[in-house]
Structure 1
Amino acid sequence: MRQVKALIADDEPLLRERLRAHLAVLWPDLALTDDARNGAEALELHGLHRPDIVFLDIHMPGLGGIDTARALARRAHLVFVTAYEQYAVQAFEQGAIDYLVKPIDGARLADTVERLKRQIAAPAQGNAAMESMLDQLAARLGPRAAPSRQLQWIKASVGNSLRLIPVDQVHYLRAEEKYTRVVWDEGEALIRKTIRELTEQLDPERFVQTHRSVIVNLACVREVVRGINETADLHLRRGDEVLPVSRSYLHHFRQM
């Protein structure tokens, strides 16, 4: 089997040394390339060595970790190592396998190593592990956390990655066969939750069901056009898509 290679990119020499020491114990067969001190060096060394894994700091001189990840364009498994938890969502948007907070905890890094091994061996298993990790991340992201059971984040598959979508960016959700399509500020994605499940988990003051297959964010509604037989059409503030309102749900809009 081909030896797995990894690159460490961080502007702190001591952290690079500690991470190397941890990895030597946890993954003796892992081949570590030369270290990078910033994003530009990381891209240069990636082109030279083609590592399977890149450990990236968020804040580095010049090109930072997030921009470096974009430039790598998912050509390596990414693990972010940083002192800043608030960048976690951006990290996962770039396809990160994990997000480690400094100072690095050996037991936590051991979990990351196992996750990387699974992802390299079988991508589908890696995605399942990432989904579990996203659940943990959403639970601890303080400013958006809610004491109730209402959803604050929606996990969605986008290509080969999983996105963590803030609920307040969602325009609407629409059932499509076995999936539900989520339309939000940055695009569209499919999830496996049903409209019924979502109705029970979303804030009823902000999201209402308009049809057996549609839930809409009221903040995104521009106008309601009454139709025949106690139905209506919803016109959204962005785009030109029109959503249906069936007779059973028209009462949500009688005062609009």
Structure 2
Amino acid sequence: MKTIHALIAEDEEILAITLQKSLERLWPELKLVALAANGVEAVNMALKELPEIIFLDIKMPGKTGLEVAEELAEEWPADRDFPQIVFVTAYDEYAIQAFEQEACDYVLKPINDARLAKTVQRLQTKLRDEAPLPNHSTDVTGADHTTTSDSELDKMIASLSKLAPAILGHRTVTPERLTMIRAAVGNQIRMIPIEDVLYFEATDKYINVVTAEQSSLIRMSLRELLPQIDTQIFWQVHRSYIINTRYLQFATRDETGKLSLQLKGSPQKVQVSRVYAHLFKQM
């Protein structure tokens, strides 16, 4: 086999080194190209090094492992195979059920060589195949499950994103649904009915709330906003955009296959990332 490169993204240094040492014992030929201490570093290092394998801690500062995987799926060079993703998580029955339901590779904390060896064997098998197909295998807990091919990556990440509350441990009471957005404009507070919002756009530490008449900023992340809105009506279509489907006019696909949306009352087109393209497969 050609030299295989790997990246480890783990914010706890001791755990990162433990995983590194375990991989050195179990797969001496594997070349570790980077250790990322947070989600932002993970994205930047992965796009720079383009490794074949990425071990992603689920809970990291900056970006979660799911957010890293989603961003990489959008930004990965088209002429390079997308890396094998292995999520690293502390043992949690809800998280494990979520991963097994989505047929996703994962390893458990604390790192155990016997469990990790099965993941290594599975990765080696995948990377030997030029066009790997879904196959039945044994996961790191000893249970059987089906692993996924790269062609199913987008659907898998989208599904995992929906299961993020279970995976990330956010099993709290669902917050009350927003009916009104309170946005500060200078010294005034603008009250925006939720049904008037065309789309939400993430901009750094703020969200741009866009209506047909105006746009306003609120200090919140899309991750914080999602549990407070009706996701049957408001769809996330990009890591930076949530649209109100009631204003969706049409979707267009360019020559490269990328989708963009036209909303009633807005001249701006909203881009759809490949992670969420399955929402519009009938269009």
TM-score, normalization: structure 1?
0.49
Which one has the largest radius of gyration? Answer: 1
Using the size of structure 2 for normalisation, the TM-score is: 0.45
